[in-house]
Amino acid sequence: MVEKLSKAAWFQGRRGPVVLVIMDGVGFGKYTEGDAVASAYKPTLDWMLANCPNTRLKAHGQAVGLPSDADMGNSEVGHNAIGSGRVFDQGAKLVSSSINSGKMFQGQAWKDIAGNVLAKKSTLHFIGLFSDGNVHSHIDHLKAMMTEAVAEGIAKIRVHILLDGRDVGETSALDYVIPFEAFLADLRTKGCDARIASGGGRMFITMDRYNANWPMVERGWKTHVLGEGRQFASAQEAIETLRKETGAIDQDLGAFVIAENGKPVGTIEDGDSVVYFNFRGDRALEITAAFEQDDFSHFDRVRRPDVVYAGMMEYDGDLHVPKRYLTSPPSIDRVSGEYLAALGLRTLACSETQKYGHVTYFYNGNRSGKIDDKLEEYVEVPSDVVPFEQRPWMKGAEITDVVVDGILSGKYDFIRCNFPNGDMVGHTGVYQAVQIGVEAVDLCIARIKKAVDKVGGVLVITADHGNADDMYEHKKDGSIPSENGVKKVKTAHSLNPVPCIVYDPEFKGDYIKELKSGLGISSIAATCINLLGYDAPVDYDSSVLQH
């Protein structure tokens, strides 16, 4: 139980609630060309940036607990930082440290995985996102584990690759596959039968989240476990053929199975071991459930092999999923929601399915469920199961309905919501759709602003990372590469700063209108606590407010 915070002597709060709007994937672009945020028609946001206290916050790299400032931020670490008010070392950094120190391979989970294969002379399988995007996974982690497995005498390894094209270049799959095949060839010279066994685009198989599209997971299960699907002689052949036939970018490519003489080279069988090597939890939980749950009804697994299964990290700390994991996750404590609950403040959190877990689970420090059932209400608006470029407005209107009703009801002291458009539509790479997504969010903010005006609240607007602000690849000289006259699209997150805007219609001169600069998004927690009329915990990262 956290201590109760003290009332702020310099700020008594406002009569209405504090409303935090997180515009997922909306930052300040470095380049004019390709910045779908800057080019969008957004009169409300533009007015606020011209007339309200605002600053730019860091939302990537070390500011959100990632290994270096070359690492793009993401929604999970972003919401961890926003909700906890401090920066914790995150997945990529923890895994790299565990591997480099050798701690991973000394742990019981690795001993179980490797020992099972050695004892039964079976196969070690790796499944995960196949890139160096460092958002869900890193190919170097995979190679390090495979190298260790071979050193320990494991004689057969199969890798099931999920193509990225989202956190890295949209058609970069072969940049990873071709060198990896050389790596596998080297392992084979050391006595290990190591091969790619299956694969497909991350948005087509396996990596669903928030129970939004279980057929994705079923397709992955059939591909990786059962070896059912279109067969190819190699991953390179599969990628080149599917890309030529469909024109799809990597994340949307269909599933494929590597086979010899009509027989899959790497089905998952009784006695095998399986490592899901993604360290991020949201897109790991469903495939983990398919392997681990006895009572499973989401699809017909046909057969469930008796395997020793491990995740790269613990994906859900409350539910202890998976049962076995290779690296311990960050231990995030004393999140801002706990302090609000201790004060008896009432909270509403809302987003649509795609980001619902971010304003709840990740915001609360990777904690499932509510902090206080009596004081909190969480509302999930079901997302459309369609390509986001076809519905770039997503569920913005419905989220806004919930938020506006909450503001006007007088029931809540603090309201937070996430609009996913800038991120989810941004990942499609469709520029016009991304602009529309940003414009839809602006319309929603205009409605929220009117409600805040009516009740005398305070509106704080920020983002968890950039994306829509950087829609084209750029060379070091700022030029945009192109293929056949078509500009090369960027579908990954950006390294750009994000806004922090404070709209306070009943401002009383109790703080300086110039906000602090040079801070990270972890400063949002202390800022919101201050605006509720309280001093933030002394070890929280600084509020943007000066007084």
Q: Is 180 exposed, middle or buried (0-12, 13-18, 19+ CB in 10 A)?
A: buried
Pair of tokens at residue 201: 């685009």
Which residue from 322, 334, 336 is spatially nearest to 276, judged by alpha carbons? 322
Tell me whether residue 482 is one of the annotated catalytic residues: no
Instruction: Give CA–CA dist 505/18, Å, rounded.
Output: 12
Give strand pairing partners of 193: 156
* Helices assigned H by DSSP within 53-212: 75-84, 91-101, 103-106, 108-120, 139-151, 173-189
26 in Cβ contact with 438 (< 8 Å): yes
Pair of tokens at residue 274: 């399986």
Q: Kindly provide the b/e burial profile for residues 471-508, where b requires at least 16 CB atoms within 10 angstroms of the residue's own CB.
A: bbbbeeeeeeeeeeeeebbbbbbbbbbbbbbbbbbeee
Eight-class DSSP state of 316: B
- Angle, in degrees to the nearest 10, between helices 43-51 and 431-455: 60
Residues 6+ apart with CB under 8 A from 462: 20, 21, 22, 23, 57, 82, 498, 499, 500, 501, 521, 524
Of these residues, 39, 75, 98, 137, which one is catalytic? 75
96 in Cβ contact with 326 (< 8 Å): no
Which positions are catalytic?
A: 75
